Amino acid sequence: MRNIRLLIEYDGTRFFGWQRQNDTRTVQGEVEAAAERTFQVATPVIGAGRTDRGVHALGYVCNFRVDTGLTTDRIHSALQFHLPEDIVVKEVVEAPLDFHSRFDAIARRYVYRFTTEPTAVMRHVFQPSRYRLDVAAMNRAAGVLVGEHDFTSFTPAVNDVSPVCTVAHARVDREGPLVTITVEANRFLHNMVRIIAGTLLEIGRGRFEPERMSAILGKRDRTAAGPTAPPRGLVLVEVRYPDSPGGP
């Protein structure tokens, strides 16, 4: 038995998220179907975490255990042959048997991208904004998120999972009409990045003052934050592990 680790990229436009669901098209479902065709046996795939319907990924990590003598190069080519064009396998490596793509992850990095000019070619991956955005104000507010905080205000979910996350990096950059929000944390709550993006948009367009971000965090109330930004602007860029370049 071997543990195979994949690095994949996918365009989330036509997927109902990562997680397998009945009668809907998901990334996990497509990868498991490709693995079953490759190895001729049902092959459950473990993912680094959920992504919402319409969210994209450049560096998603997943793994599965299988009894096979195929080389990683052969596994790579076979999986890609059986996968649709909106999923690309970027890397296949053999991992230790105890590797778990979700539980072993130490950080995840997302970007959310707005464009202040209309775009036809990139319309599936940039969220249009008709407002002129004050990136300096957005950056000041984003800095408030760095550190360990209760992010209840940035999720609609109410459950027993801890709402405390540690954000290592939060920044807003502009390149021409493109405004990019980058957030890296040890973990994320449901819709957390999209609500952060929606809140920063309100700050960028002048509806909220940057100083309001501290109050939003402190209230621990979803109604205190801005709207949930649409999924198409969100991309999971990287999942990091202790063996990633740079280490923990």
Closest to 30 (Cα-Cα) out of 74, 72, 62: 62
State the pLDDT at residue 160.
61
State the pLDDT at residue 244.
78
Domain count, the chain: 2
129 lies in the same domain as 228: yes
Give the mean pLDDT of 79-108.
97
- Is the pLDDT confidence value at 122 over 90? no
Asked whether residue 142 is domain-assigned, the answer is yes
Phi, psi of 181, rounded to the nearest 5 degrees: -105, 125
Asked whether residue 100 is domain-assigned, the answer is no
Asked whether residue 101 is domain-assigned, the answer is no
DSSP character for 16? Answer: S
CB distance 189 to 226 below 8 Å:
no
236 three-class SS: strand
Give the mean pLDDT of 73-95.
98
Q: Indicate the residue among 95, 127, 155 that finishes a domain.
A: 95
159 lies in the same domain as 51: no
State the pLDDT at residue 123.
85
Residue 77 lies in domain? 2-95
State the pLDDT at residue 243.
82
69 lies in the same domain as 148: no
Q: CA 226, 228, 231 angle in degrees (round to 5)?
A: 150
Chain segment 60-80, per-residue pLDDT in tens: 999 999 999 999 999 999 999
Residue 160 appears among annotated catalytic residues: no
- Is the pLDDT confidence value at 124 over 90? no
Task: Look up the CATH number of the domain holding residue 133.
Answer: 3.30.70.660
- Is the pLDDT confidence value at 2 over 70? yes
Task: Look up the CATH number of the domain holding residue 61.
Answer: 3.30.70.580
Annotated catalytic residue, options 11, 23, 52, 243 = 52
41 lies in the same domain as 159: no
CB distance 43 to 105 below 8 Å:
no
What mean pLDDT value characterizes the chain? 94
67 lies in the same domain as 121: no
- Is the pLDDT confidence value at 117 over 80? yes
- Rounded to whole angstroms, the Cα distance separating 132 from 120 reads 19
Chain segment 192-228, per-residue pLDDT in tens: 999 999 999 999 999 999 999 999 999 999 999 999 9
| Structure tokens that stand for 68 in this block | 């096979």
Q: How confident is the model at residue 87 (pLDDT cuts 50, 70, 90)?
A: very high
Give the mean pLDDT of 13-32.
95
